[in-house]
């Protein structure tokens, strides 16, 4: 038989090394060595390579995270009021930055982010070029925001009334897709046009309206075909909402969660994870992970239970060119020469003080060049620093510059008596006939006569 495996499970960290894993609610990949972890106790940045972790902001609960690398922004749903907040990525360097509250988002239950020309961010960075949006579901309304570069970092565009309670939202190529009980609908974020993705005029789909099917997930297979996933089954429709394939996806056990990493749809159940290839509709793999839960929409980071301990694993795509994250070496837990199993070293919890944050902030800022002074002259070795006069350009004028220059030249002139200075002093002391004395000074013979007299 042909090998159709989709994923290899790789362990990142377990509860023994990082107790925060047990209460993980969501996650996002920052880069190959760092990830964000949302828990009941707040938002944490985990550095897998250094085996360290530190908390961002206060200790409020974080239910959902989205990381947009192109916009240097982290979006979180946090607090008891479940409000959306924007966090600049400078917080990942330990700097104390202000979390930006987004108005009209209190009481939200889910959100999504994506670009106008790409797929959703999904916690793996940007989704393509063009403006980025994030959409927030509040009761039976979805509020659309555009991300910009103003101090507020966002602008409210519009509010969309939903035909039902939003259970799933996502952004595909500038289109907002919303799933609600027994239906899916798509809105164009550019012109606000909409299109139903479940056409009840198709007789083969009328059974959906007769029962209350929860909308769980939506996958864009091609530009003109979609896979609508409800909690009991999934089926394919075209861009007009009519069935495009007779094939249906049936789940072997009750699904708890769904995740999608092209081209695989992962269905999480109590004792295992079933993997389907959405292009062919085949069930290609079963992962024996108990109580598994995806921490982001792609499912690349999954929380499961091994024995009686919580464990964070990486679902590594076999056909991928490179790993999403660098998996730490298992040398620390391999069997030693004495036959005993060595435990992995625990992660270090860093507590950043105000001094640490300011130090990190200073390190991240480039040292600027000299400013606000004028370099008048260069003083070589052996000269006193008191002769170097740096002038403040904001407070000094040309008169001050010329006065200091003349003073400095006077100080630097050697104290030698030449003939002209002696004659000038004699002139000032003698009273009569200035014209005669000046005429004598102008001739070489008179200068010689003066020298002999002296």
Number of neighbours of residue 232 by Cβ within 10 angstroms: 15
Number of neighbours of residue 300 by Cβ within 10 angstroms: 26
Domain spans, the chain: 7-350, 371-411
Averaged pLDDT, 432-444: 42
- Could you read off the pLDDT of 175-187 as tens digits, one per residue? 999 999 999 999 9
Mean residue pLDDT of the chain comes to 81
- Could you read off the pLDDT of 194-246 as tens digits, one per residue? 999 999 999 999 999 888 899 999 999 999 999 999 999 999 999 999 999 99
- Could you read off the pLDDT of 117-126 as tens digits, one per residue? 765 554 444 4
pLDDT of residue 390: 53
Averaged pLDDT, 413-437: 46
Q: What are residue 282's phi and psi, to 5 degrees?
A: -85, 150
Domain 7-350 class? mainly beta
pLDDT of residue 3: 77
Rounded to the nearest 10 degrees, what angle do helices 434-442 and 419-429 cross at?
Answer: 170
**DSSP per-residue string spanning 421-437:** HHHHHHHHH--S-HHHH
**CA separation for the pair 317, 125 (Å, rounded):** 18
- Could you read off the pLDDT of 4-56 as tens digits, one per residue? 889 999 999 999 999 999 999 999 999 999 999 999 999 999 999 999 999 99
Strands 348-350 and 52-56, by their bridges, are parallel
In this model, does residue 155 exceed pLDDT 90?
yes
Most confident of 121-135, 308-322, 328-342: 308-322
**CA separation for the pair 186, 220 (Å, rounded):** 12
Residue 172, token pair as written in the block:
């595909």
**CA separation for the pair 282, 275 (Å, rounded):** 9
pLDDT of residue 116: 83
pLDDT of residue 352: 65
More confident position, 84 or 357 = 84
**CB–CB of 26/55 below 8 Å?**
no
pLDDT of residue 167: 97
H or E stretch covering 293: strand 290-294
Listed in sequence order, the DSSP H helices in 243-389 are: 354-364
């Amino acid at each position: 038989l042909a090998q159709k495996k989709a994923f290899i499970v790789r362990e990142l960290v377990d509860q023994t090394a990082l107790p925060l894993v047990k209460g993980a609610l969501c996650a996002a990949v920052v880069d190959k060595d760092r990830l964000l972890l949302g828990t009941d106790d707040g938002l944490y940045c985990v550095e897998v390579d250094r085996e360290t972790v530190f908390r961002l902001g206060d200790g409020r609960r974080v239910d959902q995270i989205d990381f947009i690398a192109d916009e240097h922004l982290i979006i979180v749903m946090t607090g008891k009021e479940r409000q959306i907040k924007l966090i600049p990525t400078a917080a990942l360097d330990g700097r104390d930055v202000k979390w930006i509250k987004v108005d009209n988002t209190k009481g939200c239950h889910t959100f999504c982010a994506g670009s106008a020309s790409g797929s959703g961010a999904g916690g793996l960075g940007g989704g393509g070029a063009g403006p980025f949006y994030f959409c927030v579901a509040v009761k039976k309304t979805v509020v659309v925001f555009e991300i910009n570069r103003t101090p507020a970092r966002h602008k409210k565009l519009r509010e969309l009334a939903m035909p039902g309670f939003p259970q799933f939202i996502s952004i595909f190529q500038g289109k907002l897709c919303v799933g609600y009980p027994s239906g899916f609908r798509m809105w164009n974020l550019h012109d606000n046009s909409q299109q139903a993705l479940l056409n009840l005029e198709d007789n083969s789909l009328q059974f959906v309206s007769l029962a209350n099917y929860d909308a769980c997930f939506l996958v864009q297979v091609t530009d003109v075909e979609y896979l609508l996933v409800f909690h009991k089954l999934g089926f394919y429709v075209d861009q007009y909402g009519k069935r495009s394939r007779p094939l249906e996806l049936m789940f072997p056990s009750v699904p708890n969660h769904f995740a999608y990493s092209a081209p695989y749809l992962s269905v999480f159940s109590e004792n295992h994870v079933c993997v389907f290839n959405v292009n062919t509709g085949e069930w290609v793999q079963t992962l024996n992970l108990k109580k598994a839960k995806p921490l982001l929409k792609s499912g690349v980071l999954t929380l499961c239970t091994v024995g009686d301990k919580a464990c964070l694993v990486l679902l590594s795509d076999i056909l991928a060119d490179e790993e999403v994250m660098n998996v730490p070496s298992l040398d620390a837990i391999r069997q030693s020469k004495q036959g005993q199993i060595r435990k992995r070293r625990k992660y270090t919890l860093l507590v950043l003080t105000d001094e640490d944050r300011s130090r990190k902030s200073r390190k991240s800022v480039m040292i600027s060049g000299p400013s606000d002074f004028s370099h008048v002259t260069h003083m070589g070795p052996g000269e006193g620093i008191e002769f170097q006069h740096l002038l403040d350009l904001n407070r000094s004028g040309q008169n001050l510059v010329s006065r200091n220059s003349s003073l400095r030249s006077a100080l630097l002139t050697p104290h030698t008596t030449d003939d002209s200075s002696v004659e000038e002093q004699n002139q000032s002391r003698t009273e009569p006939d200035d014209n005669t004395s000046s005429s004598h000074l102008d001739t070489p013979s008179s200068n010689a006569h003066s020298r002999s007299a002296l």
